[in-house]
Amino acid sequence: MKRLADEFIYKSYEYKLDNGYLHIKYRFEIPGVEIFEPSWKIPYSANRSHEVTVSNDYMDELVFNLGLVELVSYWKSVCAQTVKIECSSLSAEQILWWKKLYFYGLGEFFYQNNIVTTVDDFMHIVPRGEKTTIAKFAFSKLEGSLVPIGGGKDSIVSLNSLLDATADDKIGTITPYIINSRGATLDTVRIAGLEQSTVFASRYLDERLLELNKRGFLNGHTPFSAVVAFSALIAAFLNGRKYIVLSNESSANEPTVVDRNGISVNHQYSKSFEFESEFRYYVKRYLTTTNEYFSLLRPLSEYQIAKTFSKLKNYHAVFRSCNVGSKRNVWCTSCPKCLFVYIILAPFLDVDELVKIFGENLFEKSELKDDLNRLVGVTETKPFECVGSIDEVNTALVQVSSQYSKDSLPYLLRQYSMLQKYQKYKQELDEKLNYYNKFYDEGNAVPPNFKELLLKGIN
């Protein structure tokens, strides 16, 4: 394994309440290499002032744990053998929990950097001491839902399902949660009529990490959805919300590739039901029994989410899912994520509607042929993006291909029609459509009252 330093230290964390915001600063150190001081700013509700104090033991635990998930972005630059936690204690069980998150959350990073290691050997965590008592906190006044918004179709479908219920007061107040707002996230809450009630958090990476990357230190994907999870727990407490409602679907469970050691590498690990279940366990065991963290869309496929989203026309001009174009708030139209979203919406929107969203017909772009092959499973590796399952992509492509005559198929669909997969899925189309239009009532943690709302929203 490539190691560019022997030791990484989580030295300290500090926080203060100032003018309606919680300000957090962390200090990480790679001895002899660099010191990092990333920070956060999260607003809190004025009516929470009686419980939101710097002397609150729960707040201390929340801030410390967010630092544990933040540190991996900096640790990966050197892959130090030892991680020293100088500012708090951890139990043996917690150490194993964090090692699993780091290992599988960095699966893509290890794969892309040709790092061969195991969950036992890649890191040794040394806390300040062993935590022997478990302090679980309970709060009686938390209610309503905090809904992380990413600006894509998934969180829009979740938000729309919950909005339909507010008139009946079945789930309480809806509070969108946005980290580092941009055009698509702002437009989403504006159209939903929730801009004024949105919690806008700011996360500041230490730019010294970018300088290390320029100097050749290691870089790669980290489990960002775990950052969302732990920071949302803080935002929920600061703003009096009980439920943390994610928008991760069943397709997020599918591995991106299986590496040379037979280990599943999933770009979406921290969006998977496995992580969701383990996070729920960790919160209830070590933090609080009050909050409920779950993904509303877990009972759905990407296919079904796209079908539902296709009817939400007022969001079509503003949603964005492209990572390449995220800073400019555009679809780059040249990456596998753009192609996937185009494919999954194609059975439900006509060509003119799709071109209006993306700016061009992606099925006519020959340069996307390799991305198409990866999405349909011709290659052993799916794109390292948040995309649907191979099965769903093939099903959508066969369905949309049936809308054309053989002579009028656009370039990518014509290329796809020559594959054996096309014939296979064409024969199974009815069976696949029935499967992807169903409600997956196993393998999810959606509370019954939310499940009822979701069923209503997709029918």
What region, left, alpha or beta, does residue 43 occupy, with left being phi > 0 and alpha being psi -120 to 50 degrees? beta
pLDDT reported for residue 95: 97
Across 69-217, the runs of DSSP E, i.e. the strands, are 82-85, 124-127, 145-148, 174-179, 199-204
Range of lowest pLDDT (12-16, 83-87, 132-136): 132-136
How much of the chain is in helix, strand and coil states, percent to nearest 5? 45, 15, 40
In contact, 206 and 37? CB cutoff 8 Å: yes
Residue 166 has pLDDT above 60, yes or no: no
Q: Which two tokens mark 54?
A: 């710097």
pLDDT reported for residue 119: 93
Q: Say how many C-beta atoms besides its own lie within 10 A of residue 117's C-beta.
A: 16
Q: Over pLDDT 90: what percentage of the chain?
A: 78
pLDDT reported for residue 454: 86
Query: pLDDT band for position 135 (50/70/90)?
Result: low
Residue 55 has pLDDT above 80, yes or no: no
Rounded distance, CA 420 to CA 378, Å?
10
Rounded distance, CA 64 to CA 66, Å?
6
Amino acid sitting at position 171:
I
**How much is the pTM?**
0.94
- What rounded mean pLDDT belongs to the chain? 92
pLDDT reported for residue 342: 98
Helix residue ranges per DSSP H, 330-419? 336-345, 351-358, 369-376, 390-401, 411-417
In contact, 174 and 198? CB cutoff 8 Å: no
pLDDT reported for residue 169: 56
pLDDT reported for residue 380: 87
- Find, among 155, 138, 181, the residue nearest to 249 by Cα: 155
pLDDT reported for residue 134: 75
DSSP state of 124: E
Q: Say how many C-beta atoms besides its own lie within 10 A of residue 119's C-beta.
A: 13
pLDDT reported for residue 165: 63
- For range 449-454, the mean pLDDT: 88
pLDDT reported for residue 259: 72
337-394: per-residue pLDDT in tens? 999 999 999 999 999 999 999 999 999 999 999 999 999 999 989 999 999 999 999 9
Residue 46 has pLDDT above 90, yes or no: no
Please provide residue 179's backbone torsions phi and psi, each rounded to the nearest 5 degrees.
-100, 125
> In terms of pLDDT, which residue wins out, 231 or 263?
231
Q: Is 21 exposed, middle or buried (0-12, 13-18, 19+ CB in 10 A)?
A: middle
pLDDT reported for residue 310: 97
324-338: per-residue pLDDT in tens? 998 899 999 999 999
Positive or negative, the CA dihedral 283, 287, 288, 289 is positive
3-43: per-residue pLDDT in tens? 889 999 999 999 998 889 999 999 999 999 999 999 999 99
Query: pLDDT band for position 164 (50/70/90)?
Result: confident
Rounded distance, CA 182 to CA 66, Å?
23
Q: Over pLDDT 70: what percentage of the chain?
A: 96
Query: pLDDT band for position 78 (50/70/90)?
Result: very high
- For range 65-73, the mean pLDDT: 98
Residue 459 has pLDDT above 70, yes or no: no
Residue 136 has pLDDT above 90, yes or no: no
pLDDT reported for residue 390: 95
pLDDT reported for residue 19: 87
Residue 108 has pLDDT above 70, yes or no: yes
